[in-house]
Amino acid sequence: MGFLQLLLVCFCVLASCKSPGVDAELRFVPGEITVGIKKDYPINRIFEFINSSGIVAESVYYSSYTSTFPSDSLQFIKNILETKSYLIDGMGWGPGVELQPLTNNILVSPKMFKMENTVNQVDWLETMRILKLVELWNQAGEAGSILRLRVPIGTENTWVERFKKLSFIEWIERNESPMYIPVTSK
C-alpha cells in the first residue's frame, strides 16, 4: 500500500470516530438563544420585551439608523457614539458609522451590549433623539434586529417555545454554532 493510500485510510478511520461524551445534539452554546425580530418592530418595543422577559440581552444587532444631520456631521456622530460603553465590544470595536454612497446620508449600525440595563436603554433612546437617528428597516424582508439572549443553562428549549408564540418574533433558535464544541469531563 502506498503512503498516500495509507494516509487516506488513516484519515477515514479517524474521521469516523466519535469523541466520547460529545453529542451532536449539544452543538449549541449552552444558555444562549438567538431571536430574530420582525423588521418593523421599533427599538423601544424591543427594550420593553427585554425588560418584561427578565433575561440578559447579551447583544442587540442588525439594527440600522440614518441621521437627519448633514453629511459633514459624520465625525461628530461617530465621536458621540464611541463614548457609549454599551456600543463597544470586548475587542474595542465601536458602532459602524458611514456615509451611504447614493444618498450621502449618515448610516449608523450599532451592535449594542448589556441592553438589559435600563440605563443603557434610556441612554440609547436619548442618543437617538439628540443625533436625530431614524430606524431603518431591512428592505430584503428579513428580520430586523437580532437579539442574543442569556437564559439559564438547560432551559433553552423552554424559552424558545415561550418566545416563538410572540407576534413580533420572526424566528428563534438555540444559539447553534458550528464553532462550538462542548467540553466533556473525563
Q: How many C-beta neighbours within 10 Å does residue 84 have?
A: 17
Residue 138 pLDDT = 54
* 8-17, 50-59, 72-81: the lowest-pLDDT one: 8-17
pTM equals: 0.77
The C-alpha cell at 169 is: 418574533
Nearest to 35 by CA among 151, 162, 163, 141: 163
- Calculate mean pLDDT across residues 154-172: 92
Asked whether the predicted pLDDT for residue 36 surpasses 50, the reply is yes
CA distances from 125 to 102, 103, 115, 128, 134 (A): 27, 25, 12, 5, 11
Answer yes or no: are the C-beta atoms of 119 and 125 closer than 8 Å: no
pLDDT above 90 covers a percentage of the chain that reads: 56
Query: Higher pLDDT residue, 176 or 133?
Result: 133
Residue 142 has pLDDT above 60, yes or no: no
Mean pLDDT of 114-132: 97
